[in-house]
Amino acid sequence: MTSGNARVIKARTLLLLALLGCQPAQAGEWDLDTLGQALSAAATPDPIAFTESRQLPYLSEPLVQTGTLLRPSPERLEKHVITPAREDFIIDGGQVTVIRADGGRLDLSIHDNPLLLALAYGLRGVLNGDMDGLQRAFTPALDGTAEDWTLILYPDDESLREAIHSVRVQGQNGQVQTIAIEETGGGGATLTLGTAAP
Amino acid sequence: MIFRPQTWRLMIVLIVLAALTTLLVNRINVRTDLSFFLPGAEDPQSALLVDRLQDGAASSIVMISLSGGPAEALRDGSLAVARSLRDSALFTTVETGAVGTVTPQLLGSLWDRRYILSPALDAGAFTADQLRADLQAGLNRLAGAEGWVMRDLFPADPTGRLTTLLASLQGTTGPQRRNGLWMSADGTRALLVARSRAGGLDLPAQIQVASAIDAALAPVRASGLIAEASGPGLIAARTSGRMRAETTTISVIASAGVAILLLWAFRSVPVLVLLGLPIGAAILAGTAVVQMTFGSVHAVALSFGATLIGVAIDYPLHLLAHRHPSESAADTVRRLARPLALSTLTTLAGFTVLSLVSFPGLAQLGLFAAVGIVVAALTTALVLPALTPPTLHLRVTGFGVRLWALLHSGRYIAGAVVLGLVTLALLTGQPRWQTNLAALSALPPAARDLDARLRHDLGVADARILLIVRGDDADTVLARQETLRPALNAMLADGRVGGIEMAADLLPSRAAQKARQARLPDAETLASRLTEATAGLPLRPSALAPFQIAIATEKEAPPLTVETLSGPAALRIEALLKPERGGWSGLVLPSAVADPEALRALAENAGPHVTFLDLKAEAETLASRYLDEALAWLGWGGLAATLVVGIGLRHPVRIVRTLAPASAAIAATIAILVLSGTPLSLFHVLALVLVAGLGIDYAVFFSEYSSSNHDSAVSVRAILLCAATTVTVFSTLALSDAPVLHAIGLTVAVGASLALALTLAFSAADSKGASTSP
């Protein structure tokens, strides 16, 4: 509630500063609102290369996937896996679609599974800088400076807390570098975002 | 205040009647299911149909759609409805299309016995090479989006056997999923499917189901969404409720109309009680005799039988209307004995024949009406005279005689009109017979459209074609279904059938389970092959221990049976496999059947244990048999009535005079129905019999009194009053939008008017002479 007001004030300040021909002082405050603004300002419809490493207690080494992320609109997030096997993972609103290389198709809702919900809100929220959306599912804690920040998301939902411990997002200014999901059973996944793929 | 003796006697009779009614009400067993329309159990094919109609997997389905809101609201609504329906415990399954979190506990046997239950488990499934390929594919899926869902299941099911099993059970023709829910193709309606525990034709249970559905949909509707539901049971429950409400309204309006008419005609209140007495006694006696004979009374027999007894109100009317001012009621009865007996016996002849037909519903109706007619006549002759106040007389107006004179002078025109109608109908019209049982029901077109739309959205076949597989026990049925599999698969492959649902897919026979168990590797073999298969894969050494345990457990497990099956498979199999008298029967439900003849041939080749059933065709055959029998009965009844009239009158001219108006009225009514394009049903036939009874009644009383002018004038008034009450009642009935009631009402109202007009027009007496009498 207060963040909403704070955001309005912040936006006015920005506007004022912009009118005065000044750059907003990055060295000043670094909080969720400024992070959100920086992230949404940097949000791009261009493909972003990623590497995802999945660790589970029964795996001797992580499973690695590579591919591209695409955000055609704030509601939609497409994850196109290229290696080791092609897979399209699309979150659009509340709908989750998985299309496998063999043509197999899975239609799910983010509500079908708490992990899917965490993934959708976490990934989409972070990449779009949608702090309000993030706070619908998580309690965030921000640490560090604008040049090197860490955002830790703790799940609010009971069933989600049983599945994951936290989501740890690291970045520089508006650029997200890694998103690490830490699972309660000892497993986890780390998504490393690279530069835009050709 | 001092009462007349008649009043005292009337009160005593009413008390006796009330006591008898109370006594009876607690003893009769009124049935409201559709069994009225179904034949007795002596014909095996029909018995099968009845059984399937009453307790089939197809009849227990309830389809629900939610629309008129954003995707999130539809989702919340759909889940809330599902929760509410599940809580009611009236349903075996409630599905929204939502997957939810898959846990071994929820899956029951589907998880515990996934290797025994899933079909594709060939000999090569457990070679090191195949295991390695399956494990690699499993790991790829684990790395991807599905990994989040199958994370915990992987160690016990690394080759994704569960996914294969669930996919094979899902079927191919379900609705599409969007936002994790079943949605209509245009994406505007969220869809749910529930199956009630009770069969679709178990009306009392379906009324409960309907109210559970209304309760579940109420909060969703309150939130602004449009919620609609349909299904065979729901339709039956709603129809019965609507029929009951409508019948009540119609009875109130008709009774009020008749009461006003009688009050005007007699200027007396007690006349209503006097006229009601024979009718009340008739219904009471009819109900009692039917209950004693059949062990229950069907609601249709009761309500329609009561309409047939409507002809009986004419008896007390004749008594009161024909009485001379100076005459005692007992003397009037003596004077009227002959026509009263003749009229009663002709009507009785028809209904007695009806009570002999093979359909229990019709037989009940016939018995009910026959007993009622006799009791009404006897009450009129024996009880009424003692109760009739000496002052009660019919108001005398000149209207009847003037109408008679008018009709008599226009008799050639009337004759020409009837002849013209019949000729026209014979030349142009082809009578259409209504053989669709559904059309006989009181289903409004809007409900039928909704049902069709929901079935289309959900891809639920209107299960009209099915195979029934029988055996001494459940396992024999399952084994026999398995032998049908290759042929069914061939039909699935070339599209002659879109999908197949049967018990053997949920639970293999013992033999099939044993065969699958034999293909599972023993512990040592599996261990060594896994060592080979997992070399170089990123799995810890003991990662797949749960998988090894699962295989070892299933290899040794006792076979699953209908009793030990658990989880969703157990719920689904309930409707597909059932014990029946002397064994078990299992349904094979094909959907999207493009070639029904291929299925029929398959069943015929499969031997005596497999029966092909086309419910719609069966029901149509049944309806036309019903109709044929009713028509034959109409013929015999007509003959019997003619015989009675012949014996009673013994004079050819008088016989013709008595029978001709009724016959002509029936012919003209049929002509009107045919010319208006109305498909004729059983209920039209029954209504025509009633017209015959009324027509003969008018003619008998009129021809008996054509001797003296004064009596003719009285008789005209009497039969005019009889006809007026009949037309009032049946015109009200014709206002109903229930096809059955509308058909009866219109037919009788038209037929009775015609019978009256023709009787008056072709009377032997001189109407001009009558009009000059005082």
Please tell me which of the candidates A56, A85, A95 has its beta carbon nearest to residue B179. Answer: A95
d(CA B34, CA B42): 18
**String of DSSP letters for B247-306:** HHHHHHHHHHHHHHHHHHHH--SHHHHHHHHHHHHHHHHHHHHHHHHHSSEEHHHHHHHH
Residues in chain B: 774
Contact B46, B577 (CB under 8 A): no
Percent of residues in chain B assigned helix, strand, coil, to nearest 5: 65, 10, 25
Cα-based torsion angle of the residue sequence B271, B275, B280, B286 in order, rounded to the nearest 10 degrees: 170
State how beta strands B30-31 and B297-298 pair: parallel
pLDDT, residue B459, reads: 67
Q: Which residue of A has its CA nearest to B71?
A: A94
- CA angle B314/B317/B319 to nearest 5° reads 115
Tokens of B733: 């009935």
Q: Please say whether the beta carbons of B81 and B66 come within 8 A.
A: yes
Q: Which of B72, B140, B540 is the closest to A85 by Cβ?
A: B140
What is the structure's pLDDT at B52?
A: 58
ipTM of the complex: 0.79
SS (H, E, C) B639-691: HHHHHHHHHHHCCHHHHHHHHHHHHHHHHHHHHHHHHCCCCECHHHHHHHHHH
Q: How many CB pairs under 8 A join A and B?
A: 106
Tell me if B139 and A63 make a contact (CB, 8 A cut-off).
yes
The alpha carbon of residue B233 and the mean position of all alpha carbons in its chain are separated, in whole angstroms, by: 10
Q: Do A112 and B99 touch (CB under 8 A)?
A: yes
The answer to whether A98 contacts B144, with C-beta atoms less than 8 Å apart, is: yes
Q: Is A172 helix (H, G, I), strand (E, B) or coil?
A: strand
Q: Return the residue of A nearest to B97 by Cα.
A: A108
Please state, in angstroms and rounded to a whole number, the distance separating the CA atoms of residues B519 and B555: 9
How far is the C-alpha of B371 from the C-alpha of B295, rounded, in Å?
A: 16
Tell whether B155 lies on the interface with A, counting CB pairs under 8 A: yes
- Identify which of B204, B196, B188 has the alpha carbon closest to the alpha carbon of residue B230: B196
Tokens representing B711 are: 């009596």
Q: What is the pLDDT of residue A23?
A: 44
At residue B84, the 3 state secondary structure works out as helix
- How many residues are present in chain A? 198
Angle at the Cα of B346 from the Cα atoms of B340 and B350, rounded to 5 degrees = 140
Query: Measured between alpha carbons, how far is B571 from B762 in angstroms, rounded to an integer?
Result: 70
Rounded-to-integer distance, Cα B348 and Cα B640, Å: 9
Q: Measured on CA atoms in the order A103, A109, A114, A120, is the torsion positive or negative?
A: positive
What single letter denotes the amino acid at residue B391?
T
Chain B, nearest residue to A94 by Cα: B179
Question: B67: helix, coil or strand?
Answer: strand
Give strand pairing partners of A55: A188
pLDDT tens for each residue of B61-111: 889 999 998 888 888 899 899 989 988 889 887 888 776 556 777 788 888
Q: What's the pTM?
A: 0.65
In B, minimum Cα distance to A78 occurs at B145
C-alpha distance from residue B19 to each of A137, B26, B30, B281 (Å): 71, 11, 19, 12
Query: pLDDT at position B446, please?
Result: 77
Which residues in chain B come in under a pLDDT of 50?
1, 41, 172-173, 768-774
Whether the ω angle into residue A84 lies within 30 degrees of 0, i.e. cis, is yes
Contact in structure between B344 and B318 (CB atoms under 8 Å): no
CB-CB contact of A63 with B143 (8 Å): yes
Residue B258: which residues within 8 A CB-CB, separation 6 or more? B725, B728, B729
- Confidence at residue B61, expressed as pLDDT on a 0 to 100 scale: 83
